[in-house]
Amino acid sequence: MATLSHCLPSITSQHRRLFFRFKHRPIQCSAAAERQALFNRIAPVYDNLNDLFSLGNHRIWKRMAVSWSGAKEGDNVLDLCCGSGDLAFLLSEKVGPNGQVTALDFSKEQLQIAASRQRMRFKPCYKNIKWVEGNAVDLPFSDSYFDGITIGYGLRNVLDRPKTMEEMCRVLKKGSKVSVLDFNKSTHPIAISFQDWVIDNVIVPVASGYGLGSEYEYLKNSIKEYLTGDELEKIALEAGFSTAKHYEFSGGLMGNLVATR
């Protein structure tokens, strides 16, 4: 059984207590383990490259996603596939000291960075964040537990998206929302060509300079294999959500699914 505390020699006991034990199944499937390893490898440069490649725009997109989740003061919310914690920190400010944020990811390196950011940029409300090492397809939470969920650039990367949708529906209270932010799998030829051109000619060459060329090649392929807005709405309804609406923005490059349990 893996506990994150074994892998975190540099964090304080206060922060170590913030991690739950990962009681659920360890990652056994080799495809999932490869993906986990990829996100561990990019963790040290992940935040800086997001700022650089999106010209800071990812911060705006993440604020929009939090707003779409309907999270409010005092809520108990989940940020799934939290990575280095951007959405969790925004949720923390939104729900305030009387609320609670649980932020889950399967990458130890990303969680380690999230915890160190929590220490360094300390705001009183950040005490309300708990970091959890776990798998999005098998959530360690009881039914109807959360008032809202965000998942930013996460659903595209999980191997079993319908199961992840079902899990999110299961742990949400009735009437509460999930906000799923990601690249939009556009059907417009100009948006597709622009996205491909930027990734091939800017993102992959720059990332190659950090030894991460293949990791960012994966990003391009994962967008191609992702779901369109219509397909996302369909899997949300099939998973048990009562309504589902996908919004496109930033010239059709990004998309956000909002589904209500």
Ligand X SMILES: C[S@@+](CC[C@H](N)C(=O)[O-])C[C@H]1O[C@@H](n2cnc3c(N)ncnc32)[C@H](O)[C@@H]1O
Ligand Y SMILES: C/C(=C\Cc1cc(O)c2ccccc2c1O)CCC[C@H](C)CCC[C@H](C)CCCC(C)C
Residues that bind ligand Y (CB under 6 A): 42, 50, 53-55, 57-58, 153, 156-157, 195, 198-199, 203, 215-216, 218-219, 222, 250, 253
Q: Which is nearer to ligand X, 105 or 147 (CB)?
A: 105
Q: How many other CB atoms sit within 10 Å of the CB of residue 69?
A: 30
Min separation Cβ 132 and ligand Y, Å: 20
Q: Which amino acid is at 227?
A: L
Q: Please give the C-alpha separations between residue 17 and each of 20, 21, 119, 151, 175, in angstroms, as whole numbers.
A: 7, 10, 13, 24, 32
| DSSP states along 83-138 | TTSHHHHHHHHHH-TTSEEEEEES-HHHHHHHHHHHHHT--GGGGGEEEEE--TTS
87 sits near ligand X (criterion: CB under 6 A): yes
19 sits near ligand X (criterion: CB under 6 A): no
Q: Which stretch binds ligand X (CB under 6 A): 18-26, 83-91, 187-195, 228-236?
A: 83-91
Q: Which is nearer to ligand X, 32 or 192 (CB)?
A: 32
- Tell me if residue 25 falls in helix, strand or coil: coil
Min separation Cβ 154 and ligand X, Å: 4
Nearest to 105 by CA among 78, 83, 76: 83
According to DSSP, residue 21 is labeled: P
Nearest to 152 by CA among 203, 67, 204, 87: 87
Residues 143-182 that bind ligand X (CB under 6 A): 152-154, 157-158
Residues 29-48 that bind ligand X (CB under 6 A): 35, 39
Residues 118, 129: Cα–Cα separation, whole Å: 9
Q: Which is nearer to ligand Y, 18 or 257 (CB)?
A: 257
Q: Using CB distances below 5 to 8 A depending on partner kind, what does residue 203 bind out of ligand Y, ligand X, none?
A: ligand Y
Min separation Cβ 261 and ligand Y, Å: 25
Q: Which is nearer to ligand X, 87 or 244 (CB)?
A: 87
137 sits near ligand X (criterion: CB under 6 A): yes
258 sits near ligand X (criterion: CB under 6 A): no
Min separation Cβ 62 and ligand Y, Å: 8
77 and 69 Cβ atoms separated by less than 8 Å: yes
Binding residues (CB under 6 A) for ligand X: these are: 35, 39, 81-83, 86-87, 105-107, 110, 135-137, 152-154, 157-158
